[in-house]
């Protein structure tokens, strides 16, 4: 499992993370909700070691990964796939090359195997025969799915999703939500899904955490979240402007 303890990070003058504690059990899909600008993306960046905390630790399967050197971090990162909010595809490369890139960099697999696997992962996300297209010619939903195919290319144990449905229409959002669930069933990954899309949260989550004012204010199963009397959680999951969170 992933164990986060006392994570603190100041960026500029803002104490973005102010003592985050969170456990993500193996095999579970953890949804992290919170308002825009609360530090959800910052938290994900800490988990894959793109940012280092001022204080606190992150443990992955018993190993403390905060404070590791770049070379050791690279080993840890191989176990993670990340779907960035922007998809983060290289526009100068074809779809196939985008997916092959991490495999070419981090494995010694023969080229034929890399290409076979790129096509296979594209098929898993419902895209066939798009290897030679350029990302710029794809729709937002297709770009997301290419980003996802790349995230799963190296059989990660963990997938981190940053706002996987934001900016997509409801039908494409449903496609992505179903993919998140089917990947969990197919490869048994542990997933962390950062979102403020409530529909997505209910559809994919086993557990939920609410990040607020730099701390995890609630964590529990989706049914516990649904039944809680905690006014902060209630306000968030009901999406109302009335409650302890001020809409400023």
Ligand X SMILES: Nc1ncnc2c1ncn2[C@@H]1O[C@H](COP(=O)(O)OP(=O)(O)O)[C@@H](O)[C@H]1O
Query: What is the DSSP secondary structure assignment for residue 54, as one 8-state letter?
Result: S
Q: Does 214 bind ligand X (CB under 6 A)?
A: no
Q: How far apart are CA 16 and CA 9, in angstroms?
A: 6
Could you say which residues in the range 133-192 bind ligand X, by CB under 6 A?
A: none
Q: Does 36 bind ligand X (CB under 6 A)?
A: yes
Smallest gap from Cβ 100 to ligand X, in A, equals 29
String of b and e for 175-198 (b: at least 16 CB within 10 Å)? bbbebbeebbeeeebbbbbbbbbe
Among 29, 41, 87, 203, binds Mg ion (CB under 5 A): 41
String of b and e for 207-218 (b: at least 16 CB within 10 Å)? bbbbbbebbbbb
- Stretch binding ligand X (CB under 6 A), from 29-37, 126-134, 135-143, 225-233: 29-37
Q: Is 10 left (phi over 0), alpha (psi -120 to 50) or beta?
A: beta
DSSP, collapsed to helix, strand or coil, labels residue 115 as: helix
Smallest gap from Cβ 16 to Mg ion, in A, equals 11
Q: Does 190 bind Mg ion (CB under 5 A)?
A: no
Could you say which residues in the range 133-172 bind Mg ion, by CB under 5 A?
A: none
Q: Which does 1 bind (CB under 5 to 8 A by kind): Mg ion, ligand X, none?
A: none
Q: How far apart are CA 24 and CA 61, in angstroms?
A: 10
Smallest gap from Cβ 230 to ligand X, in A, equals 20
Q: Does 191 bind Mg ion (CB under 5 A)?
A: no
Q: Does 41 bind ligand X (CB under 6 A)?
A: yes
Q: How far apart are CA 229 and CA 246, in angstroms?
A: 18
Which one, 41 or 222, has the nearer CB to Mg ion?
41
Interaction mask 2-21, ligand X, x per CB under 6 A? ---------xx-x-x-----
Q: How far apart are CA 137 and CA 116, in angstroms?
A: 23
Q: Tell the burial category of 7 from Cβ atoms under 10 Å away from its Cβ (0-12, 13-18, 19+).
A: buried
Q: Does 39 bind ligand X (CB under 6 A)?
A: yes
Smallest gap from Cβ 210 to ligand X, in A, equals 12
Residues of this chain that interact with ligand X (CB under 6 A) are 11-12, 14, 16, 34, 36-42
């Amino acid at each position: 499992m992933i164990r986060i303890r006392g994570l603190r990070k100041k960026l500029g003058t803002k104490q973005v993370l102010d003592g985050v504690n969170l456990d993500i059990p193996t095999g579970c899909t953890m949804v992290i909700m919170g308002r825009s600008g609360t530090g959800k993306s910052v938290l994900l960046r800490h988990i894959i070691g793109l940012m280092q905390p001022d204080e606190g630790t992150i443990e992955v399967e018993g190993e403390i990964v905060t404070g590791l050197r770049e070379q050791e971090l690279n080993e840890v990162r191989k176990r993670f796939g990340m779907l960035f909010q922007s998809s983060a595809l290289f526009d100068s490369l074809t779809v196939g090359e985008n997916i092959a890139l991490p495999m070419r960099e981090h494995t010694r697999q023969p080229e034929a195997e890399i290409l076979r696997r790129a096509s296979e992962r594209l098929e898993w996300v419902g895209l066939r025969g798009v290897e030679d297209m350029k990302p710029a010619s794809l729709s937002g939903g297709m770009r997301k799915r290419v980003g996802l195919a790349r995230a799963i290319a190296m059989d990660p144990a963990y997938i981190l999703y940053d706002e996987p449905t934001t900016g997509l229409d409801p039908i494409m959002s449903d496609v992505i939500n179903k993919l998140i669930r089917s990947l969990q069933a197919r490869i048994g990954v542990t997933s962390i899904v950062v979102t403020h899309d409530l529909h997505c949260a209910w559809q994919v989550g086993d557990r939920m955490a609410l990040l607020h004012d730099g701390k995890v204010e609630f964590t529990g199963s989706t049914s516990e979240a649904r039944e809680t009397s905690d006014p902060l959680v209630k306000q968030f999951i009901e999406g109302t402007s009335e409650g302890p969170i001020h809409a400023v």
